[in-house]
Structure 1
Amino acid sequence: METRYNPAVIEAKWQQYWEEQDLFRVTELSDKSKYYVLEMFPYPSGRIHMGHVRNYTIGDVVARYKHMQGFNILHPMGWDAFGMPAENAALAHGVHPAAWTYENIDYMRRQLKSLGYSYDWSRELATCDPDYYRWEQSVFIEMFRRGLAYKKLSPVNWCDHCQTVLANEQVEDGACWRCHQPVALRELEQWFFKITDYVEELLEYCDRLPGWPERVLTMQRNWIGKSHGAQIEFAIESLDGVITVFTTRPDTLFGATFMSLAPEHPLAPRLAQGTRQEQAVQEFIQIWKQRDRSKGVVDELVKEGVFTGRYCLNPVTGWRMPIYVANFVLMEYGSGAVMAVPAHDQRDFEFARKYDLPLVVVIQPSDHTLIAENMAAAYEDPGVLVNSKQFDGLASETAKDAITAHLETLGLGRRSIHYRLKDWGISRQRYWGAPIPIIYCERCGMQTVPESDLPIRLPLDVEISGEGGSPLARLDSFAKTICPVCGGPARREVDTMDTFVESSWYFLRYACPDYQEGILDRPRVNYWMAVDQYIGGIEHAVLHLLYARFFTKVLRDLGYIQVDEPFTRLLTQGMVLMDGAKMSKSKGNVVDPNELIGTYGADTTRLFCLFAAPPEKDLEWSDQGVAGAFRFLNRIWSLVKELLESLKSAPPWRGTGAELSPELRRLRQKVHQTIHRATSDIEARFHFNTAIAALMELVNDLYKAREEPATDPSSNHLAASVWREAIEVLILILSPMAPHLAEELWHHLGHPTSVYHEPWPQAEAAAMAADARLVVIQVNGKLRSKIEVAAAASDEEIKRLALTDTRIQELLAGQQVKKVVVARRKLVNIVV
């Protein structure tokens, strides 16, 4: 055994051994219980960063720990390989997106292997591989036939910088989730997945995922946004038609004094047509269609609008309500029209004050009287109805149902449920994505590509110009084709699928990546699914995680799988920070994992990521913390080296401990307490930081015990066995976190097989039990002495020892003892 710990040599040695032995390859043919652990797969951007390292290290520890517990482990890795960065790189560096992507995959794979992760690389996949996306195209065709995939003209989120459409979930505070540039609305023919068909199940199952963080479930519930209310029709004066409004406050209908439409509302230009307001309305619409109007931004906007020149009629009061186009109304909420009740909605209140529109109080609070002219803000809380005809005096909550029922009798409204969630727009006007398997024929119309022609391969001979629209449209060899029905000339769909489609089912394909008869091999997928532990960032709460849930339910209904949900447990790890800020190239605060591994080794890198913070919390980078982790591993190396000769021939202790000296019993007690603590910390909460802290305490105690003559393993065969047990336990608990060092030390102890195949150590209750306990002695309620008694001592024995204590006998001299009380074998109270 080398004198110094040399991670570079050790880690290269064991990584080669694992690969040669194919140690982490797994099959379904096992009598063990399965455990599927998965980290969100990376985009092959070129380099892994410390966020990746933390994420994948957490997953690797879970996989190794569960394997030692006896589970059959599936722990795969692949690449989320389609997307805009590849095209941007092609433009910037003159390299093809495919070449850029696969070169990055090769580099990042080597990086991941250098960290010693226990991936079954035989299951590796890349979503840009035709052998992967061909099955996605097949599912698209099935969804199209069932009405779950459809195309329509729709206002969509357009990122001018990325030259593509974005789903609602990909717009963050009015900006593109990828490039952070402002997003505007455009009307385009787009493909959609009908996620709204599953809205109730997606919402209901949020209550059936106890293994998910409540924060993520709350974000999904809010994004789905179920609201109970009423749908109300307002007749348009002097025009045929109505404006339909959804409101959660039908109790305020008698206070509605004007109508507000979103700039994108299709009625807005029609209403203004032929009026004096036509030009002003057109200009207002044009301005606000191009501006950032996400919900968070709209809430902060100065409320602005323009009168359309038209009126609608309040269905219960008959009032002529002027119709405005307003910048604070969003098309994706409700119907894009809002009945404005300025006395009881703050946005309407601000708008009404600005444009001198009337306020009518229809809800009075219980503790004071509202006067419209004196109001400084809207009153939005519950109360009692006034100025509402036959509904006066009703509590506002009761009035919601009563007024809705009244509207139903009039045929002017009905009870309604509204969802914020909209269908998922999947069309992207980009090259580097999965082609949509649709053909357009002037004679036969829209047709699906025959299954026998799949995959529709993304051509490699395409020019990436960066101009608007899909470059596939300019490639005749791809765009021009033959109609599968009539054989006449036709054209292909040139939009590609949103990259989130690929990541919505990759975890299923890992179960059968070699299967060529269909999208999924049902027996294998049903053996592994659902994923037992999923690990990734919370930023995907309403993107990838919601889409994956939807896609899983679709594939279930298509008959491919049996599970309702893809991920049983979810862990959302915190970010890696430096000086309080997220690591990023733009901030210049990035730590290169390669440099870290080159200086300290993979095990130190892994250990620091695990020890610096609990997985769900942000990790603050610390050079001192990294150095400390390296010192700790060196201490373990030095301790084992020092003891090795004494331990080589000694078997680990397996006795009861009765024949051991008190010093050796204390040593075993610490070892088994460490097993119990580390197991509890990992099993219950994945708190690897406290499990490592327990190992550090054990190592400190082992160094102290090394100084005691009574525990010297070189002269006492019992001591050698106890030390052998202690060192093996230390290595076994360390092995999921620092696997290379653990393998090396396990090998030096004489074990012929990998530590990966060893069972997780079990804590013995008898070994953890204390040999003695401290008992406090009181005389007439005052503390007078303390004694140490055997842990198993009875109450009578404790009473005898208390009364014979030297200090107590001195205090009791000449006094009569009336009563002696022993409380829980921890306290003795002597009454004199």
Structure 2
Amino acid sequence: MSETNSAAAEQTAPHRYTAAMAADIEARWQDFWDAEGTYEAPNPTGDLAGDPARVAEPKKFIMDMFPYPSGTGLHVGHPLGYIATDVFARHQRMTGHNVLHTLGFDAFGLPAEQHAVATGTHPRVSTEAAMDNMKAQLRRLGLGHDKRRSVATIDPDYYKWTQWIFVQIFNSWYDKDADKARPIDTLVAQFESGSRDTPDGRPWSALSAVERADVLGGYRLAYASDAPVNWSPGLGTVLANEEVTADGRSERGNFPVFKAKLRQWNMRITAYADRLLTDLDALDWPEAIKLQQRNWIGRSEGARVDFPVGDAGAITVFTTRQDTLFGATYMVLAPEHDLVEEIVPAVWPEGTPDVWTGGHATPADAVGAYRKQAASKSDVERQAEAKDKTGVFTGAFATNPVSGERVPVFIADYVLMGYGTGAIMAVPAHDSRDFAFARAFELPMRCVVEPSDGRSTDPAEWDDAFDSYDARVVN
């Protein structure tokens, strides 16, 4: 075909599908869907009421993760998830469901703050502009969202309810007898009537207002306490473990992150952990997701054991393996543990091995230097299985309650204050991390669980710990 004939053919082909034609078709249909309320989920009554026939349809609620309007718009990861839920929502509509599928914006937080710092623009101005941009991008994707129900977490009409929820949690305690949360006033009534004893046994009327507040703080489902946190001075905020890189820096901004003990609000999830686990069984979720939730709740059955230590009282550990108590040859505290300062002596005990001291002249010097070092590491970094085990001897000894043996007490960053009691009894023959620590610090190892893999009962000959719940306990 000649060049002239080719051009003529193009002019006489009005239905050729081009990018411009696709954009025009899609935009016209998106206008039509908005005008007709195609993706609107009607309520039975009120401002969002609709066709009674659609209201009577089986209901399906589909929720996506809210995007952060940080000023940069959507990225490829957003439609990767949104398209999948959109396909499911469309299938549900086509099979006769009244589908509520909408999308909001998680507009509070570090992304908005950091964008404001970087640009000098007020967070509300930049955030609202980013939301407008994202809404336009979402519309171009043709996603089936009910735009009338979209929310932004910076709207007072939205966050007044999150604040209301917090107040309800703060003013509640978990009644294990009723297996549910109840108003804090019902707990006060029990203390007043004497049907429940106060912690120190004094009558409720004999307690001051401050003492009563402290007692109730031990029951409230939301409470404040000093807790070790990931503190980022560069961001001026506390970070979750997931927001800290393996290098101990903030995921956003790459600022240094340090361990610090600060006053924090906490949720008393342990009070109703059993209820959380039980109620998972009734959820119509994939079993893999429910398993993740069970692991996150982390319920363990075991015992609390006290190891006396000088005038400081005792170090309490939680263990699921009480059968291995005779194999505990040393103890480890988290560097942030409250007892550390109480148990450190002025001088090293006679005969302290050099490898235990970290090259420091006194226990206080050694503990102080190690604590500073541990504070610069994230929990993720501290828990890494492959990292070399580090630590230092506190200079104190505890007493094994079953054998009467004196065991040295170390601090090491592989023990976290937020897990269990922040202290462990180390049974190096039967725990891989304890085994590696014992090897590094030339500590004794005692086999108390009979190996079933043909190895000897002398841990000195092993390459790693032996651990099995099915093996026989031996002397």
Which bin holds the TM-score, normalised by the shorter protein? 0.7 to 0.9
Q: Distance in 2 between matches of 1:11 and 1:372?
A: 70
Whichever residue aligns with residue 225 of structure 2, its letter is K
Change (3 A) 1:137 1:368: closer
Does the CA-based 8 Å contact 2:344-2:363 persist in structure 1? yes
- Provide the rounded CA distance (Å) in 2 between the counterparts of 1:209 and 1:370: 47
Tell me how far apart the structure 1 counterparts of residues 306 and 96 of structure 2 sit (CA, whole Å).
Answer: 63
**Residue of structure 1 aligned with 2:267, choices 186, 193, 201:** 193
Aligned residue pairs, count? 385
CA positional deviation for 1:298: 3.6
Matched, 1:104 2:130: yes
Q: Distance in 2 between matches of 1:243 and 1:40?
A: 43
CA distance in 2, matches of 1:296, 1:328: 5
- Where in structure 2 are the equivalents of 1:516-555 lying within 5 Å? none
Q: Deviations over 1:704-732 (max 9, x none)?
A: xxxxxxxxxxxxxxxxxxxxxxxxxxxxx
- Structure 1 position 169, deviation (Å): 5.4
In the alignment, which of 331, 340, 343 is matched to residue 268 of structure 1? Answer: 340
Superposition map of 1:228-627 within 5 A:
228-237=301-310, 239-275=311-347, 276-294=362-380, 297-366=383-452, 367=454, 369-381=456-468, 382-387=470-475
In the TM superposition, residue 24 of structure 1 has moved relative to its aligned partner by: 2.7
**Distance 1:385-1:35 versus aligned 2 partners, 3 A rule:** closer
The letter for the 1-side match of 2:65 is M
Structure 1 CA distance, aligned partners of 2:233 and 2:28? 50
Q: 1: CA distance between counterparts of 2:433 and 2:83? A: 48
Q: Does 1:220 align with 2:293?
A: yes
Alignment correspondent of 1:122: 148
1:81 to 104, 107, 112: 107
Structure 1 residues 162 and 335: alpha-carbon distance in aligned structure 2, compared to 1, 3 A threshold: same
Q: What TM-score do you get using the length of structure 2 for normalisation?
A: 0.75
Higher RCO structure, 1 or 2 (CA under 8 Å, sep 6+): 1
Distance 1:318 1:202 in 2: 40
2:123 counterpart of 1:93:
no
Match of 1:52 in 2: 78
> In structure 1, what is the equivalent of residue 3 of structure 2?
none
Distance in 1 of aligned mates of 2:275 and 2:244:
24
How far 1:319 moved relative to its partner?
0.6
Distance of aligned partners of 1:13 and 1:158 in 2 relative to their CA distance in 1, 3 Å threshold: same
Cα distance change of structure 1 residues 20 and 266 upon mapping to structure 2, 3 Å threshold: same
Cα shift readout 1:53-77 (whole Å, capped 9, x = no counterpart): 2322233332233222222221222
Give the letter aligned to residue 70 of structure 1.
G
- How far 1:331 moved relative to its partner? 1.6
Post-superposition offset of 1:313:
0.7
Which residue matches 1:69? Answer: 95
The equivalent of 2:221 in structure 1 is 148
Q: Deviations along 1:82-101, whole A, 9 cap, x unmatched?
A: 11111111111110111000
CA–CA distance in structure 2, aligned partners of residues 278 and 247 of structure 1: 29
Are the equivalent residues in 2 in contact too, given 1:301–1:328 (CA < 8 A)? Answer: no
Deviations 1:295-325 (A, max 9, x none): 6744222122222121111111111111111
Provide the rounded CA distance (Å) in 1 between the counterparts of 2:114 and 2:326. Answer: 55
2:397–2:409 CA contact under 8 A, matched in 1: yes
- Contact conserved, 2:382 with 2:414, CA < 8 A, in 1? no
Contact residue 272 and residue 309 of structure 1 kept, 8 A:
yes
CA displacement 1:23-70 (0-9 Å, x = unmatched): 333322222222222322221233222222232223333223322222
Residue identity opposite 1:385 in structure 2: V
Q: What is the one-letter code of the residue matched to 1:379?
A: F
Aligned positions of 1:9-48 closer than 5 A: 9-29=24-44, 30-45=55-70, 46-48=72-74
1:182 and 1:292 in contact (8 A); partners too: no
Q: Which amino acid aligns with 2:137?
A: Q
List per-residue Cα deviations over 1:335-382 (Å, max 9, x = no partner): 111111222223222222332322222222254541244344322234
Q: Normalising by structure 1, report the TM-score.
A: 0.44
Letter in 1 for 2:320: T
Q: Assess if the C-alpha contact under 8 Å between 2:64 and 2:82 holds in 1.
A: yes
Aligned in 2, Cα 1:277/1:129: closer, same or farther, shift over 3 Å? same
Contact 2:244/2:378, CA 8 A, preserved across alignment? no
Alpha-carbon separation, structure 2, partners of 1:226 and 1:172 = 27
SS at match of 1:291: coil
The 2-side partners of 1:7 and 1:49 are apart by: 22
Structure 1 residues 74 and 176: alpha-carbon distance in aligned structure 2, compared to 1, 3 A threshold: same
Helix, strand or coil for the counterpart of 1:343? Answer: helix
Cα distance in 1 between the residues matched to 2:244 and 2:300: 22
Cα shift readout 1:102-121 (whole Å, capped 9, x = no counterpart): 00111111111122222221
CA distance in 1: counterparts of 2:119 and 2:148, whole angstroms: 32
| CA–CA separation in structure 2 for the residues paired with 1:7 and 1:225 | 51
Give 1:9 shift: 2.0
**Shift, 1:213, TM fit:** 6.0
- 2:203 match: none
- Is 1:137 paired with 2:163? yes
Residue 711 of structure 1: aligned partner: none
Unmatched tracts of structure 1, length 5 or more:
388-832
Q: Which residue, out of 6, 23, 28, partners 1:8?
A: 23
Deviation at 1:157, TM superposition (A): 1.6
- For 1:339, what is the secondary structure of its paired residue? strand
Asked which structure has the greater CA Rg, the reply is: 1
Deviation at 1:262, TM superposition (A): 1.1
Identity of aligned residues (%): 43
Question: 2:224 is matched by which residue type in structure 1?
Answer: K
Deviations 1:579-629, CA, capped at 9 Å, x for gaps: xxxxxxxxxxxxxxxxxxxxxxxxxxxxxxxxxxxxxxxxxxxxxxxxxxx
Give the Cα separation in 2 of the matches to 1:263 and 1:204.
35
1:176: how far off? 4.1
Deviations 1:504-541 (A, max 9, x none): xxxxxxxxxxxxxxxxxxxxxxxxxxxxxxxxxxxxxx
Q: 1:352 to 1:64 in 2, by over 3 A?
A: closer
Give the whole-Å Cα distance in 1 for the aligned partners of 2:16 and 2:169. Answer: 61
The answer to whether the 8 Å contact 1:269/1:282 transfers is no
Distance in 2 (CA, whole Å) between partners of 1:177 and 1:22 is 40
Q: Distance in 1 between matches of 2:42 and 2:286?
A: 28
Gaps of 5+ in 2: 1-12, 45-54, 173-219, 348-361
